Amino acid sequence: MKTYANTVDGRAVVSDRTFESRNPATGEVLGLVPHSTPEQVAQAVATAKAAQPAWAARPDAERKALMMKVAEAIKANAETLATWVTREQGKPLGGVGPDQVPGARFEAWGCEVWTQVPASLDLPVDLAFEDETRRDEVHRKPYGVIAAIAPWNWPLLIAIWQIVPSLRAGNTVVIKPSEYTSIGTLEMVRLIAEVLPPGVLNTVSGPGEVGARLVEDPRVDKIMFTGSGATGAKIAAAAAKNLTPTTMELGGNDAAIVLPDADPKAIAMGLFWGAFLNMGQTCACAKRLYVPDSLHDAVVAELKGLAEAMPMGDGMQDGTVMGPIQNRMQFDKVSRLVERARADGATIVCGGRPADGPGNFYPLTIVTGIDDGAPLVDEEQFGPVLPVIRYRDVDDAVARANRLDVGLGASVWSTDLQRAREVASRIQAGTVWINQHGMIHPMVPFGGTKGSGWGVEFGVDGLKAVTQPQVISIKK
């Protein structure tokens, strides 16, 4: 069985202790992953610290050009990377383009694009104030060493979101992938680190305790975390000890509100992918669908038709549209929440019974006859289930959307854009999409409100988030 390696200072690093990475579609062990020791974590941070001044001192154009080389390396290895994503995370290979299934090839392509865009952005000096007595300029400086902690749902893409803006701005990075999906990320870093100076991009691997070691290291200058709120709270507590700044991209429980003028047929496909992209294992998937009484049956019928038509299976096989749930913990959580809804009298319109076999296959599930307060509605189930909740009055739907303590994304569906905008502005979420859901873009800032976190990624604002302002104030 092959043991995959971390990259530290441009070299492969293994550990005496390892753990298995498994294919969620088959149960097959894909390889062994090093469980980084505390000394190895400290060494990775020391390496990043030592490499940072020279990296930051390079002309901006050089870092830009190197990031473009990173994008080329991703493109050249896209099929290998996509295959790792499918085998380790589970999403089908799929393709790239509007008529293709958004799966692992889409994730690999996204890595290329989310590298090119920050590489092409600039942070020019801002003139904050000038008169005959003084001139005040705002320059952007890198933090230093960024510690990045990634989840398992989009293991390559989220790592790229953390790595690329950080490097582009002159920081060096130590990243820890999720213990469920480490190999793909370690392999991607190995490939892209080949075009970078040694030490600027490093990895450690292992479970939460390895992440905890990394974020508590006082030489870390900023933490970028994407994962659950519960882990975010632990990391925020660790960060408080050293006053380390953080960006927190945490869980959500996105509401989608269909307005009474919407056309169920026209919105069905957008709603479907908004809820079931990556088997619902996406932070900004629609997780609660609010539908007016007048449209309830038509919307449910459209979604049921789509859900039942999507082939589910091993993502390496042609024609697969839906893969497995990535891990057993998540699978059990989804099963528990659906069983509880059933026991409480909800209607399971389709799905709702896990498949037998070694893979973590759970059918796409639509639940009606359920209300706010039910665990399936109130908890982030992070799986292929959509509860549909009736409403009578739009103000009431908005109040229901806002009643939870998370606010990552949300959406409003309507043919009346003016009305949709007005409703959108009253929803407490980092992004409210109109007639689409979860449609992130590398130029558009993305982040949560309330318990979904703080700080943003993407675009110029995302680049600013990995830098700190320095004012140069000149007396005239």
Question: According to the binding rule CB under 6 A, does residue 391 interact with ligand NAD?
Answer: no
Pick the closer one to ligand NAD by CB: 40 or 178. Answer: 178
Could you say which of 442, 448, 451, 459 contacts ligand NAD (CB under 6 A)?
A: 448
Residues β-bridged to residue 20: 32
Pick the closer one to ligand NAD by CB: 224 or 267. Answer: 224
Contact region for ligand NAD (CB under 6 A) — 173-181, 269-277, 392-400, 466-474?
Answer: 173-181
Question: According to the binding rule CB under 6 A, does residue 186 interact with ligand NAD?
Answer: no
Contact region for ligand NAD (CB under 6 A) — 70-78, 167-175, 176-184, 340-348?
Answer: 176-184
Question: According to the binding rule CB under 6 A, does residue 409 interact with ligand NAD?
Answer: no
Question: According to the binding rule CB under 6 A, does residue 226 interact with ligand NAD?
Answer: yes
Radius of gyration of the chain (CA): 23
How far is CA 154 from each of CA 85, 179, 267, 281, rounded to the nearest angstrom? 8, 13, 25, 9
- Annotated active-site residue in 179, 283, 285, 380: 283
The least distance separating ligand NAD from the CB of residue 472, rounded to whole angstroms, comes to 34
- Is-contact 288 298, C-beta < 8 A? no
Pick the closer one to ligand NAD by CB: 140 or 176. Answer: 176
Question: According to the binding rule CB under 6 A, does residue 176 interact with ligand NAD?
Answer: yes
Token pair of 64, please?
Answer: 């830009």
Q: Return the residues of window 127-166 that contact ligand NAD according to CB under 6 A.
A: 149-153, 158
Pick the closer one to ligand NAD by CB: 233 or 309. Answer: 233
Pick the closer one to ligand NAD by CB: 73 or 277. Answer: 277
- Annotated active-site residue in 112, 179, 216, 249: 249
Residue position matching structure tokens 């893969």 = 323
Is 443 strand, coil or helix?
A: coil
Q: How many CB atoms lie within 10 A of CB 28?
A: 13
Pick the closer one to ligand NAD by CB: 43 or 326. Answer: 326
The least distance separating ligand NAD from the CB of residue 120, rounded to whole angstroms, comes to 22
- Residue 249 annotated as catalytic: yes
Contact region for ligand NAD (CB under 6 A) — 1-9, 27-35, 114-122, 228-236?
Answer: 228-236
Question: According to the binding rule CB under 6 A, does residue 192 interact with ligand NAD?
Answer: no
Pick the closer one to ligand NAD by CB: 54 or 444. Answer: 444
Question: According to the binding rule CB under 6 A, does residue 114 interact with ligand NAD?
Answer: no
Burial class (CB in 10 A: 0-12, 13-18, 19+), 307: buried
Distance CA 147, CA 106 (A): 26
Question: According to the binding rule CB under 6 A, does residue 249 interact with ligand NAD?
Answer: yes
Distance CA 254, CA 259 (A): 16
Q: How many residues bind ligand NAD (CB under 6 A)?
A: 31
Ranked by CB distance to ligand NAD, the top (closest) residue is 211
Is 468 strand, coil or helix?
A: strand
- Residue 283 annotated as catalytic: yes
The least distance separating ligand NAD from the CB of residue 35, rounded to whole angstroms, comes to 11
Distance CA 211, CA 368 (A): 39
Binding-site string for ligand NAD from residue 329 to residue 368, where x marks contact by CB under 6 A and - marks none: ----------------------------------------
Distance CA 349, CA 160 (A): 38
Residues β-bridged to residue 389: 290
Pick the closer one to ligand NAD by CB: 181 or 414. Answer: 181
Binding-site string for ligand NAD from residue 194 to residue 223, where x marks contact by CB under 6 A and - marks none: -------------xx--xx--x--------
In 3D space, the residue among 215, 149, 142, 206 whose CA is nearest the CA of residue 172 turns out to be: 142
Residue position matching structure tokens 């309507």 = 414
Residue position matching structure tokens 């589970």 = 90
Distance CA 445, CA 456 (A): 6
Q: How many CB atoms lie within 10 A of CB 118?
A: 28
Crossing angle of helices 157-168/60-76, nearest 10°? 160
Crossing angle of helices 157-168/182-193, nearest 10°? 30
Distance CA 332, CA 327 (A): 9
Could you say which of 56, 160, 193, 235 contacts ligand NAD (CB under 6 A)?
A: 235
Residues in contact with 200: Cβ distance below 8 Å, sequence separation at least 6, in sequence order: 48, 51, 52, 55, 167, 172, 173, 193
Could you say which of 112, 187, 302, 380 contacts ligand NAD (CB under 6 A)?
A: 380
Amino acid at 22: R
Q: By CB under 6 A, name the binding residues for ligand NAD.
A: 149-153, 158, 176, 178-179, 207-208, 211-212, 215, 226-228, 231, 234-235, 249-252, 283, 380, 382, 408, 448, 452-453
> Which residues are annotated as catalytic?
249, 283
